[in-house]
Structure 1
């Protein structure tokens, strides 16, 4: 969900025009001729006049185009970047808007200037508005680097808020919450009387707390600011009401949730930011009709309104999946296959965009939605609509056979993975019950097989035992050279001893111990199960999530995500 707009000091200096309507900048800079009256004017004068006349679109564009033409003629890359960045707000078309900001970034290459901070921040903001989080983060980090270089604390916390929104957008709610807390503390300390800053910070942190399922804390922050927000910024008060309504929904206080959602959405201004909150309010109103009143017709009305707004605005919000999921089921039950197909197509498009932009929803159901299955259902609907002949029965039979074949494949795969999972758990349980055996003596392989002195082999095996006991294999930088030094031998001898006595290569020896360790830790530590795969891989000593997943699958035959998901579903004893 999009979070509230930032209040920033440079807003009026560089991009104060963001509040006015978008206007297409059709005329290219190389077609523009500087008026004689402005030919000798400075950039300070041109931007001063632009800020003074920003409500007059034609006049403000004249000053901006003059600035761009002047900067182009003088090859002033900094001024070109700033002006192109400013002009981007007037461009309505996405392709043209991005072309302008890309040109602004191109002009800024190699420059380090404080005036580029709002340029990069705006570029990141535009990409964020289009849900292109990877690109947004790139430019937020550029802006952050400059703010730290020039030691501008105010900018730093503005950008930290932006980065938190990116983290929120890709599902890293706990990391986003940490950043929001820093920004809130900074604002309360540095600007205790800045009411607008406080309202926006509290909205951010209350919403993030809700996403982290800390509902009581979210309500606490809501109650500290809601009355002030309605007095100072009623639109933000309504956003707070919608957020708290959703919070109450998850606490199963459905009547309170309905009142707050209705209050928040009733007079919400329909600007781009508020539209997102309005859509989400209607989604949860639909959910309430289902859960509280079991009224499918009213739920449908809310969800159709959501579909209508999404179609008109193109907003891609993960929560919309709820509406489309309901409507597909609704029209299927009614036998209205044409409408079911239409909603299915929209749902597929939505999920494709969400997947490509790495937006993760907090709803596990939609995170695990089987897109290939949805495609098969789509084809089945097309067949039903197009097939008006006596061959319907044949096609239906083939369709049933196809689903049956798919079911058998999926079930076989499920049983295989479940068996592997049960074997892992069984082995872990056995190890917990086993009494440790103290080995007084290590009996090495005959010396002639290794061509290494028996005393050396015995010494190395003992040191490997200590290495395993101390779990030193969890060190991310461990390699055969480091381990050889620990064992007072050389890499050649160590490799041979591990190959013969452990029955595997050095890499597999280390990785297998790491996987055995993390299997046990995940089973016993429910908190660790909530970590990201990347964080879990680091706990196991791997440098990357990819190498961890590969080693895990190689040893266990299942993916880490499957193992963790089954652990979460295990009954608590």
Structure 2
């Protein structure tokens, strides 16, 4: 019996090692291919098919993970497959690794921070108790990149320093070449991200030292062309700080070549912005504008821009203002509003989740460790709980009041674009079928009201329905009936609605308006006095104009701190 069991055990070990050797042999056949090279799939597909046949889910995960690297346009599909295979393996490390891989596709390939963070936080749940330190450090590195994007540079820099401290010692020694390769990638990318934080906080002394270090320690092979490009990019930004604009342009040209090979459009966008800035400082405005427009092209295609390059649009607006080209000035003003909308939406989502699901969890884990070390932990917890309950009650009331105000403020912002005549077109088509007005009258009045709103004549003081009806070459009855049916209100309400929405738009988008008093804003928007403006503003939006001004100013100050 013992001999039989021993025989089965030896057979199991033989099968296991034979299987592992077989898969390792397949991987060796394509490991030297460059990223996104589809020729690798000659072997990757064999790997996938064999692992599926054997129901070897650990190897199947690895096969799909390799497929992500070599697929130019199906990375997300292979990432989903790797997650499925990982769950079938029932190994927490493999599952966490799969979510990391999927998050990396969202981050590196698509620069979609929201879904990327979603996957990183899933990975964090599976890897927080893992013995695989490499995976844990990789996960923390990715969370650090989100913190950096949000502008939490000090917190992000601390994460990257820890990543460097882990990855760098493992870039040499008597370990597997694949591990050395992965650790070197981790080290160089963490070093690059640390430099990004140093440049953002004005620490150019360390940024220069670390950039020199990065270029020196990056292997001169195709496998590390992307990392080398990152360091040329940071070198160029350092050159701008030193006012060496020719040197900066040269470095950016070296950087962009490698990044185009892997389609890293996010940093290509940043390089275009900084190149434009260099040309502008040299006095070559034609080249500067061409680079700034390249940033806009990337934003239009991918809806992505780094917060620190938002000034790209301010430069374009200023350029066309000086060129006396209002059409282009208006176009890039609208583009800047779109940029701000994307950044605002990303920041609210990311900041909320990273603090609620990552930072808070870390604090709770730290608290648990402290409690285990103290013999009086139970009493401490009771005291803290009572204190937190009391404080919680007070904070709850404060937050509820603040939340209600924020909800009203958000509702106002969601309707910022509604001062456009075309927003009611869908309703107008249905109304025309039952309207008692003649079709010709409707057509004439639509055009007149459209021009009236477009020219912002609603800001004029002393406007009356009778006066406007005469200008529109119609009688008062038709005029009032049109307003009632097509504007869904009486004339005074319609007029005041437009004025309030205009006031909201100006306060939100123009800093000079936020310096005005409520009375000045009321007069500028056509109201006869502050009180009537304030009352109508409250009636329409649920908050006073003074409260809206305060909220917007607080928001702007917060954005400046983040930037």
Question: Counterpart of 1:451?
Answer: none
Paired with 1:169 and 1:560, the residues of 2 have a C-alpha distance of: 24
Q: Which residue of 2 aligns with 1:172?
A: 152
Kept after mapping to 1: 8 A contact 2:248/2:278 = no
1:246 to 220, 223, 237: 237
Counterpart check, 1:358 vs 2:454: no
Alignment of 1:127 with 2:132, yes or no, is no
Partner of 2:22: 45
Q: Matched residues in 2 for 1:371 and 1:262: separation?
A: 43
| Distance in 1, Cα, partners of 2:104 & 2:144 | 12
Pair 1:157 & 2:137 matched: yes
Matches within 5 A, 1:219-368: 219-229=208-218, 236-247=227-238, 249=240, 251=241, 253=242, 255-266=243-254, 268-269=257-258, 270-272=260-262, 275-290=265-280, 292-293=281-282, 296-308=285-297, 316-331=305-320, 334=323, 336=325, 339-340=328-329, 343=332, 346-358=335-347
Matches within 5 A, 1:434-445: none
User: In the alignment, is the contact (CA less than 8 A) between 1:332 and 1:340 conserved in 2?
Assistant: yes
2:139 partner SS: helix
User: Is the 2:150–2:347 contact (alpha carbons within 8 Å) kept by the matching residues of 1?
Assistant: yes
How large is the Cα RMSD of the aligned pairs? 5.1
Task: Find the counterpart in structure 2 of residue 396 from structure 1.
Answer: 455
**Deviation (angstroms), 1:52:** 0.8
Q: In structure 2, do the counterparts of structure 1 residues 191 and 298 end up closer, same or farther at CA, with 3 Å as the change threshold?
A: closer
The equivalent of 2:502 in structure 1 is 406
- 2:79 aligns to what? 101
Aligned residue in 2 for 1:504: none
- Distance between the aligned counterparts of 2:559 and 2:63, measured in 1? 53
The change in CA–CA distance for 1:222 and 1:257 in structure 2 (over 3 A counts) is farther
Deviation of 1:112 after TM superposition, in Å, equals 1.7
Q: Distance in 1 between matches of 2:71 and 2:267?
A: 24
Higher helix share: 2
Q: How does 1:435-514 map to 2 (within 5 A)?
A: none
How far, CA to CA, are the matches of 1:67 and 1:236 in structure 2? 29
Q: Take 2:551 and 2:121, find their aligned partners in 1: how far apart are those partners?
A: 31
Distance, in Å, in 2 between the alignment partners of 1:265 and 1:373 is 43
- Measured after TM superposition, the shift of residue 237 of structure 1 is 4.8
Could you tell me which runs of 5 or more consecutive residues in structure 2 were left unpaired when the two chains were aligned: 1-17, 174-179, 351-411, 423-445, 461-497, 508-512, 520-543
User: For 1:211, which of 196, 200, 213 is the aligned residue?
Assistant: 200
Q: Equivalents in 2 of 1:44, 1:265: separation in Å?
A: 44
Any idea what SS the aligned residue of 2:244 has? Answer: helix
SS at match of 2:455: helix
Q: What's the offset of the Cα at 1:331?
A: 4.0
Cα 1:124–1:324 change in 2 (3 A) is same
Please say if residues 230 and 238 of structure 1, whose CA atoms lie closer than 8 Å, have aligned partners that are also in contact: no
- Measured against aligned partners, the alpha-carbon deviations of 1:411-445 in whole angstroms (never above 9, x if no partner) come to 6997479xxxxxxxxxxxxxxxxxxxxxxxxxxxx
C-alpha change, 1:90 and 1:388, in structure 2 (3 Å) is: farther
CA displacement at 1:167 relative to structure 2: 1.6
The offset of 1:61, in angstroms, is 3.2
Structure 1 residue 68 displacement after superposition: 4.3
The CA distance in 2 between the partners of 1:151 and 1:70, in whole Å, is 29
Shift of 1:353: 3.8
Q: Secondary structure at the match of 1:109?
A: helix
Deviations 1:100-154 (A, max 9, x none): 4334324433712544454232112012232333432343345455555442223
Inter-CA distance 44–91: structure 2 relative to 1 (3 Å threshold): same
For 2:169 and 2:112, locate their aligned partners in 1 and report how far apart those are by CA, in whole Å: 33
Of 137, 159, 166, 1:186 maps to 166
Decide which moves more: 205-214 or 395-404.
395-404
> Secondary structure of the equivalent of 2:269?
helix
List gaps (5 residues or longer) in structure 1. Answer: 1-40, 362-369, 381-386, 418-552
Shift of 1:303: 1.2
Aligned residues of 1:72 and 1:80 also touching (Cα < 8 A): yes
Q: Give per-residue Cα distances to partners, 1:500-559, cap 9 Å, x unaligned.
A: xxxxxxxxxxxxxxxxxxxxxxxxxxxxxxxxxxxxxxxxxxxxxxxxxxxxx9xx9997
Q: Is the 8 A contact 1:285 1:299 kept in 2?
A: yes
Aligned residue pairs total 374
Q: Secondary structure at the match of 2:151?
A: coil
2:91 matched to 1:112? yes
- Distance (Å, rounded) in 2 between the aligned partners of 1:565 and 1:351: 11
Distance verdict in 2 for CA 1:558–1:348, change over 3 Å? closer
CA contact (8 A) 1:282 1:303 kept: yes
Q: Which moved more, 1:165-174 or 1:306-315?
A: 306-315
Q: Check whether the contact 2:317–2:333 (CA below 8 A) recurs between aligned residues.
A: yes
